Chains A and B, each alone.
Chain A
Amino acid sequence: MNAQISNPQTESLCPDCLQRIPAGYLRRDQDVYLAKTCPVHGTFETVIWRGPPDFDAWVRPKTPGAPVFAGQPMDHGCPFDCGLCPEHRQRTCTTVVEITTRCNLDCAFCYADSSGAGSDATVPEVDRLLAAVGRGAGQCNIQLSGGEPSLHPDLAAIVERVRRHGFTFVQLNTNGLLLGRQPDLARTLKDAGLDSVFLQFDGTDDAAYRRLRGRPLLAVKLAAVNACAAAGIGVVLVPTLVPGVNTHQVGAILDLAVDLAPAVRGVHFQPVSYFGRWTRPPADGDRLTLPELMRAIEAQTGGRFCATAFHPPGCEHARCSFSGQFLVLAPGRIIALSRRTTSSCCPPASAEAGARQAIAYTARQWAPAPQGQEAEPFAPAGGPICLETFCHRARTHTLSVSAMAFQDAWTLDLERLRGCCIHVAHPDGRLIPFCAYNLTGRDGRRLYRP
């Protein structure tokens, strides 16, 4: 075992007292840990990266960007001045707007800590919040969230308001229960201007739903996909991956996504993070790191989704995510449209340009496929692909595969946080980086979430 600091020092928080403390990366063979010591609560060490592709090679250098409006004074230092502050290095790509704290599930893992009780934001309140988002974030994609946002009685009116404020892409982050049970809801939301549904989707059988959501939900999830397909709303499947629960289902979820294309436009994996109250720190075995997930995708799909297609993001910090784009030529015949490039070949790119590209790409890829253009699938055999047919097929059957590693009190790296492009609209109008908004100390104490 070789132990050495492989990166410059960064800063993090103590999971116990949430005070800012120095942190550094520690390499043990191919695995990398974030190590930090609080003078009061001792040393914490958490796995961040396991195996190839190598931690040090997973970079995408950026010249720092800045928020559209950085109005929060720097009084206490990162991460205590979010709003955003002038130290932040990226503009907003997506703003999460939470419209209710109510939920119709009581999940084992929920960054919003929602359950049955709660309240809805009024339409005028959401209206004021959207105006604040427009001033603070400029043109960005909007994700309506909660709680379970489909429970809001004025959801369609809120979608319309998002459009009226000039935002060009609006997505609903939902568990899909109401979409699956109320046949007209998807059509109503489509008519109001909804582009996309970010659908909680943890597995292809009911075992994962029973463990993570408390009841069997596969049938209603599939009904939700069908309702969105019929209404012309793009669907992104969003599995929360928990070691020992559903990490073996990665390949099955992708195979199902292929079967459900073009209704399904992407799969966005979220390896579990630990928010809320924890009597003991999560063990390293409770975590799935991004490189492990890339390798699992390739292994569980028999190489149909190859790991070499995945690359670090041009918008958020490189170590926060990966993404790749694929084309479903036919069931069983999938080609990668993207490829990992080595860092040495690319000079630093503008973070601002990366954000603009991500905003446009997401809005295009996660929106519904063009209607009435579906090309015949290719023959499943190999050989050269007719370029004309390729272009036609690509209009409808591209599939994005991506993952985001949210940071919790144990894994937080303030360098990564300053590069965050996904911001939550605080009810008072401030924009808070997603992981800071949801971060909790070990005792459940929150930094920002009301």
Chain B
Amino acid sequence: MLDLDPGPYGFYIWTSYGVSAAALAWLAVSSLAFARRWRRRAEALETRAREVDPGPERQP
């Protein structure tokens, strides 16, 4: 049976779970944002670099 009534220890238990959930959610969001931000930037810069210098195999 689900027991969500921690009695006198509610503050300690819910704070522990709240802090853990918030920290892990922040870690997930910041990690995804970090990867997405650099992926976009790398793709934009690589496209520009190819336009400026197509490389020997692409030159006519």
Q: Do A and B bind each other?
A: no
Q: Hey, which bits of chain A sit against chain B, CB under 8 A?
A: none
